[in-house]
Chains A and B, each alone.
Chain A
């Protein structure tokens, strides 16, 4: 290639593959940064219920989450990038989960693993279980299942990596566009948590139902 590169030249993926075959690697700081971030997602060592057993299984040799760069389960939220909410969040536990989330440094990501973390699951109509952790913290990936198999967790992690690869490194928001910084910690009230949800994060979906339905 004797021609000088014209200003504003952005190679297509095919052109970059062609260049790579000739030993030339073209990239941007953002791509490099997202590549690094997406392949070293360190989860917080934090389990709440039976989903945590599947999470442990995913970290062991048979499923081996290390293949995706996420084997470093950190015992401190200060060193973690990913909060896997693996299990039932009781209302008594919810403020602690939000506090752990606030203690994690940006950029940080959240996976709601299993039916309970998504919506309360089989305990949704109970008095003591939070009806989904997304009422208080922004969730990037939802993994359905009760509990999800380790493969499902790995798939969720791959989806998260995909999301991180599209992340703008200058943005302060998380990949989902939600504020990644501090979320208000709910207080214990006389009958329920106060407030019952973070209004900036969660609204009940507006379902219009027929009366006879």
Chain B
């Protein structure tokens, strides 16, 4: 009897398990993309739990998108996928405080036949506070590129006019989930006027913003009265009111795009007059208003970008005293610009970064420049993690590596902000993304000046100028420590290619510059090319006498690569 029961139980178990597995099979993803496990363990990695704390060798356990444990004595479940972290460094996933990555601008609405440009409908005039960035967002390749750079959470900002709409917070997890963390996190406002209609300028925008704000306040009073007193005239509730009412109530902050000191002052002026909660974003030039921002207690998002150094690099030796004096001021201004982030930190203003209008691939380099300019590494990491988390009111979920927080991590090959550090994995919302890392370039032995940048060889190049795109081949040879070579280019005298020797070849680290002479209609023009070599490609500019500078790109032709 006992035996029968036992047998029956076994059969049931077998049957049951078969049934379970078959039902799992039936529901599985035919694309094969469904992951095997949602548990991960990063073992024995150097973990930086929060900015300012030293890295500690530990294991991180992730389950169902949440950090389930950080430490050395964790029991790792069998189903966990193991990531050997012995040579890896782990940081909390970066947070982009304001981003238009993945955002597509909606189409402008049609103008009606009786459209009057002096009094356009709000929607056409760029006043669309009810719009949400969520409706404009898609996980496109640009979002993926940002994630490759370590960003796991974005505050997405809608595209539009002076009042574009509401921001939202997204996690860059699996493409099949909605990834929305929170909606209506801020109202995106700028000084952008509408083209060809009211308001057309910053002055008009400021006046119109006051108008919209004050009328929202009045409509709120009127609606409250309508709700409580019978017989009151029905208030006019429109999209603008619906989008603005949380802003006047103080529950949704205004995120003002203000890149210059004057724009920052204008935003602060409006805030002082109207009393909304203010976040300043897109800051580029702000050194002179740090005390004012501090006094106003506003939240600050600076652009994750530094001014380009083309003008500084173009400074020449052989110039007059007047020009030299201008060079000095130019350089001072440049140095000041890159030192700003450090000054913001020194003033004790919590800030984070915005990537609006910033190339994802340049962010790392820009942050390094800011650090060289005086920003501490701790401050830079805080601006990427804890500060934006705090600004979004999400310190409980984001910003550090702690048990219970969202599993957003960056795994690097070395400590952050080092020249050669590369990102090997990013974990966002508990999903793992792997990236290729290149082997570290060995420093040249025998104390050579070059760091292994391959210059010699044949390069295919193209340039874009108002006259169209053109190109040719550059051949560079190395002779001891000297370089020489030739370049082919479209012959200005007619069709076909002309060849000229190149001169003044300079290699400094990975930047290469050289020049050549072109004779056109009896006029000799010096063409200068400068750029940065990264592997087999070179990116830079070609400047042609007084005609201007144009983008220049070149690739090393692999088959006939000459030996260095």
Q: Do A and B bind each other?
A: no
